Amino acid sequence: MSACPACDHEVIDPSQRFCSQCGHDLGRKHATDELDGLVGKVVDGRYKVLGRIGAGGMGLVYRVEHVRMGKVAAMKVLRRDLADDAQAAKRFVREVEVVSKLEHPNIVQTFDFGEWRGLLYLVMELVRGEDLAAIVRRDGPLPLSRALPLFAQVCEALEEAHLAGIVHRDLKPDNIVVFRRREGEHVKVLDFGLAKLRERPELGEVTGAGSLVGTPYYMAPEQVRGEPVDERTDVYALGATVYRVMTGQPAFPGDSPVAILSRHLTDPVVPPSERREGLPLELDHLVLKAMAKDPANRFASARALREGIQDILARRLANPEESQPLPSWIEKPQTGGDTGASDSALTAVEVPGARDDSDLASRLRREDVDAFESRLMWRRRVLRLAVPLFLVAAGWGGVRLLQRPERAGPTETEPNDSAATANLLPNGTPVFGHLREPHEDGIPDFDYFRVPSGRTPRTVLAAVSGLPDLNVVLELYDVTGALLLRADGGGVGRGEVLGPVSAGSGEVFVRVRPLWLEGNAAPLQASSAPYALTVTWGRPDRARELEPNETEAQASSLHAGLALMGHLSHSGDVDVFSFEAAPGGAFAVSLEAGGALELVLEGAVLKRKVAAAPQVVGEPFTVPETGRVSLQIREAGRKKNATADRTQPYTITVTPVP
């Protein structure tokens, strides 16, 4: 008995030309064959390939070990022809970037991807369990009490993905992994969004359709017709999966993918209870509704399907033998169809063990990767600085004369769209730059600049001029990539002021970008004008607030008689200040606002809220027994003030009252 090279499905009849599971031509060499030589190699300098786990129409799946952390993960390597296809490669990056942001206990996490020697790969969580297809092959149809809780978990995974705008497109038993935890069986769903990457699938060579993506046994009619898909397409596929798991048979058997697909379009679904005795009428209605040929007649969402599943569970577990009225979600059943199985999905599952949480520490997680990459960036920068110093100490001072020193210039130098290519900044001198056309993937132009490390802790103050056609955002990051502060309150045509921020003695990075929410459309064109960025760093200035200071724990210190200058960096920003003096002392606090910004001064010691717009106001107070006074400044009103110029500072002063 052999196996299909595309999907590992068992081929019982040696004379069979096409795989009954995925439609692959069994007489033709598969595009994944060349990937088998990766075992033992180190991919991209990070992942040692330990062995092959599984296969799919898009490539192979390996068990890998991170060479620096010693933790294991699953790696999918795409077929060479997909990697060579520029459009497929772009879709790969775009889809994986979206999918990698999914974080749900029922979704397998993806936390790294890249290109190595012409091969595209992605690294994901290694799940030690068994997929539903294998369980049904071994055990036969599952009992209702075991299967329905699993399907409810699948629905929860779909709900999370659909909220993010992701349709799975290839949901089937092979993509649902079951493993055990202390509280019982748990589900993880594989391959979200990846089926979309394959624009020219092998299934198309069999069916004559060049854009089909899915698995024939589970493919919705709109997929068969090449029409747009939405979350109801996944509802259909899950209905077909429920059918297969509960009856042990596909809803629409067939001798070829073409025959199966045509039955999805034309044939009514035989109720599951007619294929397996003992299944309740409610399950028939649930499956028929989920598999309605018209998406409008299906459950409207994965949540609605989950509620139907949970309703059946509650009824059957409470009174398994008692006849009960049908639940309210049951309507006149609409018939639909079911399909076979495509080869688009890859399996990221190891041979199951008794438990899944016995060796969690040995498996790679997203937080492991994030922490490692942050440390790695730091080490690279330390080495870049340390090597010349080492050579000088060793008597190789002349070597430095041969190196081209990094200089801070008056204009930005492209590319500078990441911390690794950040331009060195001059201290206190303007640098002029342009926000250029968005990249091909729709991501807008980001400009990174670097503040060099110093010997002592310092503060960083940054200001950028406005652009007539873009809303500019100014951000400050530390060397690990953590956001220290963001200024985005100015609006189109206005500049931004950020800080001063306590930045320690290490490197920090300033990023200039247009206002853009990840996942939304980028600006359609480059800015017509340059911006001017001025960054100043040095010892803390007692006459300026120190950001961040949005809580009492972060409060900036006020000193009697010394005016302190500050900025509200964005709409909704709150600046907190503290003042210490002998209990019972009498003082007055004054606030002067700038830039037509209406401010409110609040504090427990004040008799009322004090407004400044922009005149100077004074309010007396008495220092309480604690000897500490807390004051805060915020913008008046809850709505954003479009006319406010937040680059203009306010001034707060505390003075003694005789």
The 8-class DSSP code of residue 167 comes to: -
76 within 8 A of 61, measured Cβ to Cβ = yes
Distance, in Å, from the CA atom of 346 to the CA atom of 64, rounded to the nearest integer, reads: 15
Non-local (6+) Cβ contacts of 535 within 8 A are 425, 427, 428, 431, 449, 451, 460, 461, 462, 463, 510
Distance, in Å, from the CA atom of 265 to the CA atom of 222, rounded to the nearest integer, reads: 9
Which residue out of 170, 191, 338, 573 is catalytically annotated?
170
Q: Which amino acid is at 319?
A: N
597-624 b/e with 16+ CB inside 10 Å = b?
bebbbebebeeeebebebeebebebebe
In sequence order, what are the beta bridge partners of 449? Answer: 423, 510
Residue 44 among the catalytic residues? no
Q: What is the DSSP string of 241-300?
A: HHHHHHHSS-SS--SSHHHHHHHHHHPPPPPHHHHSTT--HHHHHHHHHHT-SSGGGS-S
Coil vs helix vs strand at 234: helix
The 8-class DSSP code of residue 568 comes to: -
What size, in residues, is the chain?
Answer: 658
Distance, in Å, from the CA atom of 355 to the CA atom of 124, rounded to the nearest integer, reads: 19
The gap between the terminal CA atoms of the chain, to the nearest Å, is: 99
Q: What is the DSSP string of 605-618?
A: TSSS-EEESSS-EE
Q: What is the DSSP string of 146-166?
A: HHHHHHHHHHHHHHHHHHTT-
Distance, in Å, from the CA atom of 596 to the CA atom of 609, rounded to the nearest integer, reads: 18
Q: Is the peptide bond before 500 cis (omega within 30 degrees of 0)?
A: yes
Distance, in Å, from the CA atom of 476 to the CA atom of 508, rounded to the nearest integer, reads: 7
Residue whose token pair is 């200039």: 512
Strand order in the sheet with 628-635: 556-557, 574-580, 628-635, 599-603, 610-612
Coil vs helix vs strand at 173: helix
Q: Is the peptide bond before 614 cis (omega within 30 degrees of 0)?
A: yes
Residue whose token pair is 């495509």: 342
User: Which class for 393: exposed (0-12), middle (13-18), buried (19 or more C-beta within 10 A)?
Assistant: exposed
Distance, in Å, from the CA atom of 238 to the CA atom of 151, rounded to the nearest integer, reads: 8
Which residues are designated catalytic?
A: 170
